[in-house]
Structure 1
Amino acid sequence: MKTHKNILRSAGATLGAGALAWLAIGGGSSPAPGEVSPSAMVAVADEGPGYAIEDFGYPNADRILAERGITLKRGDGHITLADCASATDLLEVWSRANDKICFRVTGTTGYLTLEIPSVFVIKGNSYTTQVDMTTGTEEKTFEVTKNTWTPVGESADEQGRDFMLMEIRTSR
């Protein structure tokens, strides 16, 4: 007889706990004051995470500008600032304002928009490279010879004007 009573008590306790859980989860008609309704929780969960939007902005550009005076804007990640002693086959950009600045190139194509003032020569690497430069309102594109020094900016200008490097494009 005691076994029968224990089974009934257990069943009653289980049913009571189930009923309380049902009421707490949403079986009740409305939440108590200060509680959030389960339907509100479901709506938030159904929204999912936000979207990551790539703007192709150069990582740590503010720090690089502060430390090196180079404005790196946007690119596809295939042309990146490099330590000139870190590898061979780097693009070397020479500027009167910043001395030597090196870039590592990867992939089959690449682009990087930037601002480096007073660029006068670029040493090419194994990629076909074009650079866009400006002086005042005039824009010029220079082809950089593979694996050799190419005069650009003031070195290639009859008037010796100061040029700013604005974009690098590469391809294999």
Structure 2
Amino acid sequence: MKEYARFAWRVLGAAAVGALAWTAVAAGAPGGASEQAGPTALVAGDAPGYAVEDFGYPLADKIRAERNLVLKRGDGHITLADCTSGTGLLEILARDRTDRICFKVVGNSGWLTLELPAVYAIKGNDYTTAVDMTVGAEEKSFDVAKNSWTPVGEAADPEGRDHLLVEIRTAK
């Protein structure tokens, strides 16, 4: 019974707030009481908009310009990291790069979409990791061994074709 009473009070309270808002808007309309005191402008257009998560990778344009690395979208649990920042990182080797690319993984699971050409090896961490790659119109998935190097892409392809890394998925 308490739940019903609490619900009823919430509904009545919301109705009262709505009525007050309607009264305030109507008072600002032509012929309303506030017309004698001066014009009233609605400020809803000046209020900040809603925050809608699009899962876009933060600072992706800056990273692309500085490191020639295309990071698209993710859930925030797989983030670009400095390879010298510690242990437990995912490490990626690509034929057209002289440096390793490392990612820090946090949480119970994560995903990241990106575009990284010519990837041929990935060193896993303590997470179960899978990667999706494309070669031409063909899509391939590879499971990455925990805490060791796994050949992927051209290193795992009998024809030695150049593969593009497009997604990383992790889970504990």
Query: By how many angstroms is 1:89 displaced?
Result: 0.2
Q: Distance in 2 between matches of 1:30 and 1:67?
A: 57
Q: Distance in 2 between matches of 1:62 and 1:124?
A: 27
Q: Does 1:97 align with 2:96?
A: yes
Q: Does 1:53 align with 2:52?
A: yes
Which aligned pairs between 1:1-172 and structure 2 lie closer than 5 A?
29=36, 31=38, 37-38=39-40, 40=41, 43-44=42-43, 49-98=48-97, 99-172=99-172
Query: By how many angstroms is 1:110 displaced?
Result: 0.1
Unaligned runs of 5+ in 1: 1-25, 32-36
Taking structure 2 as the reference length, the TM-score comes to: 0.76
Task: Give the number of equivalent residue pairs.
Answer: 139
Runs of 4+ in 1 over 3 A off after TM superposition: 45-49
Unaligned runs of 5+ in 2: 1-32
Query: By how many angstroms is 1:50 displaced?
Result: 1.8
One-letter identity of the residue aligned with 1:54: E
- Alpha-carbon spacing, 1:110–1:27, altered in 2? closer, same or farther (3 Å): closer
- Alpha-carbon spacing, 1:133–1:29, altered in 2? closer, same or farther (3 Å): same
Over aligned residue pairs, what C-alpha RMSD do you find? 1.8
* Partner in structure 2 of residue 16 of structure 1: none
Query: By how many angstroms is 1:78 displaced?
Result: 0.1
- Secondary structure of 1:169's match? strand
Residue identity over aligned pairs, in percent, reads 62
- Secondary structure of 2:62's match? helix
Taking structure 1 as the reference length, the TM-score comes to: 0.76
